[in-house]
Structure 1
Amino acid sequence: MTADVWSDTAGQGAGSGRTDGFVGAVAAEWTKLWSVRAPYLCLLVGLVATGVFTFYYGSIARINEHALQPVGNAVVSSTVLVQFAVVVLATVTVTGEYTTSSMTASLLWVPVRHRVQLAKALLTGVVAFFAGALCAGLGMAVAWGPFAGRASFDAGEAARHVLGVGLFYALVAVLTVGVSFATRHAAGALAVLFTLLWALPSMLMGLGGPALLAVNDWLPHSAGEHFMRTGPDAPYPPAGAVLILLAWAVAAHLTGLYVLRRRDA
């Protein structure tokens, strides 16, 4: 469905000439992004999933009489699920064009290959950041009621959670763009990201053991949780966690750029 939706106007930002500079490339990507339904659906699903998950989290904390905790923990926990709304959004911005062959028009319009890739990464990253911040605010508001006294609220801590979730979603979006350029197919990109962001961490945590848990700490979602929660038990400081997730994103982009330059459109 997303491929058909993307084909409606994916080439509208391409025009008939070439854009000058990075600003023009970003403007073209902005037009393509908001000219189709997929991004709106992904953002809506993300908001709804955040609300449902945080309500459930708060309810479970109250029913099981968990210890007092920051209300933002509900939002951070929801990212294990909601991150995939961001993944799908960022994936279709790339693979939708390959599916409909409109990537050829995009590369004619912006002939500098890395500029196309960076424009998509910047745009999806910014959109994901603000979407994450909105989800975090909504999630804390929804979770506060069902927590029923089992949660605490501190303005500074809440702001850190909002910014942390926004930054995490932004980096996940950038990582996704790189993986999508490397795979060129939605199914392949989603399989890689599902494994990397959820399946592999779940397996490592399920098997347990110091070595496997240490490996898990260096995976993208685990690093994201460390800087979103900013807890005392993190194996590295928040800045280190951000750098780990950024390194994954850079590695994905270098791989995607290599494929783009070797195989073109």
Structure 2
Amino acid sequence: MATVTRTTRADAPERSRTEHTGGGLRGAVAAEWGKLWTTRTPYVCMAVGVGLTAVFAFYYGSIARINDEPVQAVGKAPIASVILLQFIVVVLAMTTVTSEYATGSIRTSLQWVPVRHRVQLAKAAVTGAVSFVGGVLLGVLGMAVAWVPFRGHASFETGEAVVQLLSIGTYLALVAVLSVGVAFVCRSAVGALASLFFLLAGLPFVLLGPGSEVLRKINDALPQSAGDHFMTGDGDPYPSLVGLLIVLSWAVAAHLIGLAVLRRRDA
């Protein structure tokens, strides 16, 4: 006599949950994490970051000693190097997008994760996390390297140093999110890099050149200047928290614009 096995409705949700294990945002982040570390880009960026931080921090401390500048927090050295380090983060973040458009693998990524905002958010989360941790570690390296050439022209307080390290990591993480958004808008490495270089370095240079007070105020609203105020804790022309909010606003705006372009033009 044949036996008929019946599947109750109570079994369906359990089976459905099993079939979708590993999906959603968590799965998208895991996929982006795996793709990132299977390329040479993060390793090259870290190596360049170590070299730039060491050289710049040593130079900064040496100049402070030679010019007999007042005693300052040793964390000022790695903070000053961020003006260069941010472009390493730019390269790291934007290539997670532009390389896929260049090779056509973006189609595969969008098939694996059909929810568009989830793809972009996963890339921003992974590159932002890597940039934050990398920024903190490079900040520690910068403080250690700069301490020797400072020779009495620097001070060290644990609480202040921790705040400076976290601010460096936070700023670089937001630069990564900003870069991912711009990369989705431009889709090409040349276009994204040129746009980000102009925003982070070119435009501030142009605005500060004439010495106009109006142009200086406009420059204070740009991500590079706001980030510098945030990291140094400078209260002029606005508090450190305002600087953080300005950078955050730029990152969110770039992310939303990039998402709108992705949804409209797709792959």
TM-score (norm 1): 0.91
How far is 1:209 from its partner?
Answer: 1.9
Tell whether 2:222 aligns with 1:251.
Answer: no
**Alpha-carbon distance in structure 2 between the residues aligned to 1:184 and 1:34:** 21
How far is 1:259 from its partner?
Answer: 1.1
CA contact (8 A) 1:125 1:169 kept: yes
CA contact (8 A) 1:129 1:167 kept: yes
CA contact (8 A) 1:19 1:109 kept: no
Q: 1:183 to 1:37 in 2, by over 3 A?
A: same
1:170-226 alpha-carbon deviations (Å, 9 max, x no partner): 000000000000000010000011011111112212221211111111000111111
Correspondence for 2:243:
241
How far is 1:154 from its partner?
Answer: 1.0
Stretches of structure 1 that go unaligned for 5 or more consecutive residues are: 1-16
**Alpha-carbon distance in structure 2 between the residues aligned to 1:67 and 1:115:** 49
- What is the DSSP-based 3-state SS (H/G/I as helix, E as strand, rest coil) of the residue aligned with 2:39? coil
**Alpha-carbon distance in structure 1 between the residues aligned to 2:233 and 2:93:** 27
- What is the DSSP-based 3-state SS (H/G/I as helix, E as strand, rest coil) of the residue aligned with 1:207? coil
**Alpha-carbon distance in structure 2 between the residues aligned to 1:39 and 1:239:** 30
- What is the DSSP-based 3-state SS (H/G/I as helix, E as strand, rest coil) of the residue aligned with 2:209? helix
TM-score (norm 2): 0.90
CA contact (8 A) 1:68 1:150 kept: yes
Report the identity percentage.
59
**Alpha-carbon distance in structure 1 between the residues aligned to 2:224 and 2:100:** 27
- What is the DSSP-based 3-state SS (H/G/I as helix, E as strand, rest coil) of the residue aligned with 1:66? coil
How far is 1:39 from its partner?
Answer: 1.1
CA contact (8 A) 1:19 1:110 kept: no
For residue 79 of structure 1, what is the amino acid of its counterpart?
A: V
CA contact (8 A) 1:50 1:78 kept: yes
**Alpha-carbon distance in structure 2 between the residues aligned to 1:28 and 1:219:** 33
Tell whether 2:229 aligns with 1:226.
Answer: yes
Correspondence for 1:102:
105
Higher-Rg member (1/2): 2
CA contact (8 A) 2:234 2:240 kept: no
- What is the DSSP-based 3-state SS (H/G/I as helix, E as strand, rest coil) of the residue aligned with 1:235? coil
**Alpha-carbon distance in structure 1 between the residues aligned to 2:51 and 2:233:** 26
Match of 2:23 among 20, 27, 31: 20
Stretches of structure 2 that go unaligned for 5 or more consecutive residues are: 1-19
**Alpha-carbon distance in structure 2 between the residues aligned to 1:75 and 1:32:** 29
**Alpha-carbon distance in structure 2 between the residues aligned to 1:173 and 1:211:** 29
Q: Pairwise mapping of residues 178-193 of structure 1 onto structure 2 (< 5 A)?
A: 178-193=181-196
Correspondence for 2:209:
206
**Alpha-carbon distance in structure 1 between the residues aligned to 2:257 and 2:79:** 29
Q: Pairwise mapping of residues 114-153 of structure 1 onto structure 2 (< 5 A)?
A: 114-153=117-156
Correspondence for 2:116:
113
- What is the DSSP-based 3-state SS (H/G/I as helix, E as strand, rest coil) of the residue aligned with 2:165? helix
Q: Pairwise mapping of residues 87-98 of structure 1 onto structure 2 (< 5 A)?
A: 87-98=90-101
How far is 1:94 from its partner?
Answer: 0.6
**Alpha-carbon distance in structure 1 between the residues aligned to 2:77 and 2:211:** 24
- What is the DSSP-based 3-state SS (H/G/I as helix, E as strand, rest coil) of the residue aligned with 2:43? helix
CA contact (8 A) 2:227 2:247 kept: yes
CA RMSD in angstroms, aligned pairs only:
1.3
How far is 1:81 from its partner?
Answer: 0.8
**Alpha-carbon distance in structure 2 between the residues aligned to 1:212 and 1:163:** 30
How far is 1:244 from its partner?
Answer: 0.7
1:216-254 alpha-carbon deviations (Å, 9 max, x no partner): 11000111111100023x222222111111110111111
